[in-house]
Structure 1
Amino acid sequence: MALNDLSLSLQFGSIARHLAAHRAALPRHKVIRWIRRSLEADAEMTVRIVDEEEGRALNRDYRQKDYATNVLTFDYATEPMVMADLVLCAPVIEKEAKELKIPLQTHYAHLLVHGTLHAQGWDHETSDEDAEEMEARETEILTAMGYPDPYGKARVKPSRR
């Protein structure tokens, strides 16, 4: 299986109290693997890990929802190349992973796959059928990499872009 090319910028914002655990959960080679397995075209992407304050401000300013969410996708182009920013809120993701009793890295893998699909036009909020399709695609990608089905149990669903 030939994988698409990926130019990646991996950034860590002001997450001082979370930094060590999140850096350990996000080795660059794994982030690249998770995203590349989700791509249907070559891509230029930025992944930014943020604190609750920055996550909340972005969600409020761009989605008019005044809370920090787990993942936000800012998609700029899908053809001929995927261009997007994925913003992940470290404290939210850490809390969800604990609630789900799964490793932090497993939850990051799921959310990066989820966000990458959004960057390519997948949307789970348009209809139940679209949500089922997207969840099935996420499950296919993750299980092929050895991760459990994120929807196999009562899992937290990623937020909308």
Structure 2
Amino acid sequence: MLCDVVIEDDRWEAAGLEDLAERAARATLEHLALNPEDWEISLLGCDDARIAVLNEDFRDKPQPTNVLSWPSEERGAEMPGAAPEPPLPGPDPELGDIAIAWDTCAREALEGDKPLADHVTHLIVHAVLHLLGYDHVRDQDATLMETTEVEILGKLGVSDPY
């Protein structure tokens, strides 16, 4: 399996996080012509309290967020709007770690009138792209990242979240 999922909040079990994560991560890698069998991603399904601690520890933002990602190495492109160089398979298959918070995800899905599975799928695609060096700080990078997300989600039958 591509995704090694640790569930701290049982609500993720009922939502099928493992299957959603595996499907979204595989679709993301395949879209970028990367073989999912060459890579590993660690994913933590937690609640808002846990992700708030992680967000404060790693980003100095003491509040919950929907998803966080920690790439195993810096992969971002230097030129604004350029696609990051894809990683090369090797002895260390780890792309990085992701944490996703139930409370924020469920609230956002409800507020956005989106199926929870679709919203979670989008967030996993988004986080995997971060692991691969995509970002949305610069406008050109945000456009590339969002366009790539929409293409991947379309292949998965998920509506454009933007």
Interval containing the TM-score (normalised by the shorter chain): 0.7 to 0.9
Residue 27 to residue 86, structure 1, CA distance change in 2 (3 Å): closer
Matched, 1:147 2:158: yes
Q: Residue 122 of structure 2 corresponds to which residue in structure 1?
A: 110
Contact 1:84-1:119 within 8 A present in 2 as well: yes
Preserved contact between residue 28 and residue 125 of structure 2 (Cα < 8 Å): yes
What amino acid is aligned across from residue 18 of structure 2 in structure 1?
R
Aligned to 1:43: 39
- 1:71-110, aligned counterparts within 5 Å? 71-77=67-73, 78-80=87-89, 81-110=93-122
What root-mean-square deviation, in Å, do the aligned CA atoms of Structure 1 and Structure 2 show? 1.6
Matched, 1:9 2:4: yes
Q: Work out which structure has the larger RCO, using CA pairs closer than 8 Å and 6 or more positions apart in sequence.
A: 2
Once the 2 structures are TM-superposed, how far is the Cα of residue 82 of structure 1 from its aligned partner? 4.8
- Among 24, 27, 37, the alignment partner of 1:34 is 24
Encode CA deviations 1:82-129: one digit per residue, 9 max, x unaligned: 52111001101011011001111111000000000000000111x111
For 1:25 and 1:105, how far apart are their aligned partners in 2? 7
For this pair of structures, how many residues does the alignment match? Answer: 140
Gapped regions of structure 2 (runs ≥ 5): 74-86
Q: Deviations over 1:59-88 (max 9, x none)?
A: 001001110110000111444345211100
Q: Tell me, in whole angstroms, the C-alpha distance in 1 between the residues paired with 2:21 and 2:141.
A: 25
Aligned partners of 2:151 and 2:160: how far apart in 1? 8
